[in-house]
A and B are shown apart, each in its own frame.
Chain A
């Protein structure tokens, strides 16, 4: 049995906005709406979705950068909302993050060395030891030590991303959250970074949550894929199943829209999704996807679908899959009779 690294249960993150000038009306932007998923140790989970699907907000909730409106985040069997100060401090050392933009990932006013050392220093590692560790991690990401005293603006995008990864590694984390780690990079550099990430993951048995809109990257790197649409998790399952046999109509549309990278596969896309992603402000009733869904029924317009289990690891939130389902996610629907 795989051991869970992060368990998300009914995680919600709503932002309050006020509309209107005279008659103020409070509404909520449901950036993350009831997400339940488990990321196991040593797994690479890819999180995909269009812009505004809430994937970055979910990452911020997992990173404890923002408090969830509801639900629980359990990390290594510790509920973050109930964690003690010591546990929270420890949490900071176990989770690290690399963001998309290489240029803004590092403090422009700090040298590479002091950027990498910084997390260690805050957590009480002596300076000399931290300095050694900085050199060590730079080796891990295959960068020359002469860059230790460089400033960010003197480095290329690929180099900056390596340094961001080095800093993320410095604390010997258990899980790394990678928010679009290669989106700003060129193909050849992207390949270097992806390979590096895979090597590091194997070497240290790390857990990754990779957020990206690039489906080819996700297919290459991840063991499992989670698909989000307007704040909700619509499908979650092993990479092969999700890419080759997507069940949710949205996933199907997304997979069909993925760039093919092989001209011989032209014309294979019978189905291109219509319309634009909806807005989080005026969410439709029922299934959020029904206005764009070619298979939507009346039921979809009123009731949000639950998490149907197609196998132990493959979960879909679509009424169409009810017949196929072998069960229902008990964690999501404890009262369900099926």
Chain B
């Protein structure tokens, strides 16, 4: 009877196949990232000069690249970069998007109209082009690429949070809170925000694949991670030059990327079903 929604939620998680499969995929990536030093047979910078462009074999299970580096080790270390992108990207977008969305939705007025306009504007310009433009201004590098992508992507969060805030702020419990003297700040962060969290979680898991792919694309184009970083995008870019001699160079990092993105997507699907209020009533 007195179970918290959280416990109830976990119970239904077990029953949701999508969520379970997706989170196992993501957890495996996190596991690999943490224990990369133990899992990877070599360092991602170790150069085996005698084994350049070796096809997958017992020693190098994913083969080696044009400089003789073990692809498997590089992909294993690459998980760290991918997760870094996911965490920093989602964090940046969330902080900005939630703040802007909450303030705009709660106060409305001219600031709201201005920010909505800015958010709309970011939707009119193709994201990649804008990100490239930002990178040319602020310079290249992984963190800068993430910032560029986040500048494009925060608007999705802001929109969602704003819309939700506007609908929740008219509910009776907000009025009641105000009637007994709650401050605006407390209404926003104590009353409204916790009620947005479930949908926010879904949005994050749906947005993350996009953020990862876009950042990877920037690395692929050479304005993201710089060599010798084991960034998967960069690895694919390097592999493209050797498609005929060593197709594994592009295939394996590509597959790794697909695995992570698919994991987030499947988990997102599952989360959406889990947090859908219509499913909850039963």
Whole-angstrom distance between the alpha carbons of A98 and B191 in the complex?
17
Q: What residues of A have a CB within 8 angstroms of the CB of B177 in the complex? A: 107, 118
Question: Across the interface, do A122 and B180 meet the contact criterion of CB distance under 8 Å?
Answer: yes
Known contacts A105-B172, A109-B195; A63/B5 CB under 8 A: no
Whole-angstrom distance between the alpha carbons of A99 and B171 in the complex?
10
Question: Across the interface, do B191 and A97 meet the contact criterion of CB distance under 8 Å?
Answer: no
Whole-angstrom distance between the alpha carbons of A108 and B175 in the complex?
14
Q: How far is the CB of B130 from chain A (nearest CB, A)?
A: 32
Q: How far is the CB of B110 from chain A (nearest CB, A)?
A: 15
Question: Across the interface, do B179 and A97 meet the contact criterion of CB distance under 8 Å?
Answer: yes
Q: What residues of B have a CB within 8 angstroms of the CB of A171 in the complex? A: 180
Segment at the interface with B among A4-12, A143-151, A204-212, A326-334: A143-151
Q: What residues of B have a CB within 8 angstroms of the CB of A98 in the complex? A: 176
Question: Which B164-188 residues have C-beta < 8 A from chain A?
Answer: 171-173, 175-182, 186
Whole-angstrom distance between the alpha carbons of A284 and B5 in the complex?
52
Q: What residues of A have a CB within 8 angstroms of the CB of B2 in the complex? A: 146, 149-150, 154
Question: Across the interface, do B180 and A99 meet the contact criterion of CB distance under 8 Å?
Answer: no
Q: How far is the CB of B197 from chain A (nearest CB, A)?
A: 8
Q: How far is the CB of A174 from chain B (nearest CB, A)?
A: 13
Whole-angstrom distance between the alpha carbons of A129 and B178 in the complex?
22
Q: Does B126 contact A (CB under 8 A)?
A: no
Question: Which A131-189 residues have C-beta < 8 A from chain B?
Answer: 146, 149-151, 153-154, 164, 167, 171
Whole-angstrom distance between the alpha carbons of A336 and B179 in the complex?
38
Known contacts A99-B175, A105-B172; A151/B181 CB under 8 A: no
Q: How far is the CB of A109 from chain B (nearest CB, A)?
A: 4
Q: Nearest chain-A residue to B183 (Cβ)?
A: A122
Known contacts A107-B191, A109-B194; A65/B178 CB under 8 A: yes
Known contacts A122-B181, A122-B182; A109/B5 CB under 8 A: yes
Question: Across the interface, do A123 and B181 meet the contact criterion of CB distance under 8 Å?
Answer: yes
Could you say which interface size class chain A belongs to? 20 to 34
Q: What residues of A have a CB within 8 angstroms of the CB of B4 in the complex? A: 111, 151
Q: Nearest chain-A residue to B198 (Cβ)?
A: A109
Q: Nearest chain-A residue to B176 (Cβ)?
A: A97
Question: Which A70-104 residues have C-beta < 8 A from chain B?
Answer: 89, 92-93, 95-101, 104
Which of A64, A100, A104, A150 is the most central at the interface, judged by chain B CB atoms within 10 Å of its CB? A104
Q: Does A52 contact B (CB under 8 A)?
A: no
Q: How far is the CB of B166 from chain A (nearest CB, A)?
A: 15
Whole-angstrom distance between the alpha carbons of A33 and B195 in the complex?
36
Q: Does A277 contact B (CB under 8 A)?
A: no
Whole-angstrom distance between the alpha carbons of A106 and B173 in the complex?
5
Known contacts A146-B1, A149-B2, A153-B5; A105/B173 CB under 8 A: yes
Chain B interface residues toward A at CB < 8 A: 1-2, 4-5, 171-173, 175-182, 186, 191, 194-195, 197, 280
Provide a sorted-by-A list of 6 A–B residue pairs whose CB atoms are within 8 angstroms: A64-B179, A89-B181, A93-B181, A104-B173, A109-B5, A146-B1
| Nearest 4 pairs of A and B residues by beta carbon | A92-B181, A99-B172, A119-B180, A109-B194
Q: Give 13 A-B pairs besides A63-B179, A107-B191, A146-B2 with Cβ atoms closer than 8 angstroms.
A: A104-B172, A105-B173, A106-B173, A107-B177, A107-B194, A109-B194, A109-B195, A118-B177, A119-B180, A119-B181, A122-B180, A151-B4, A167-B176
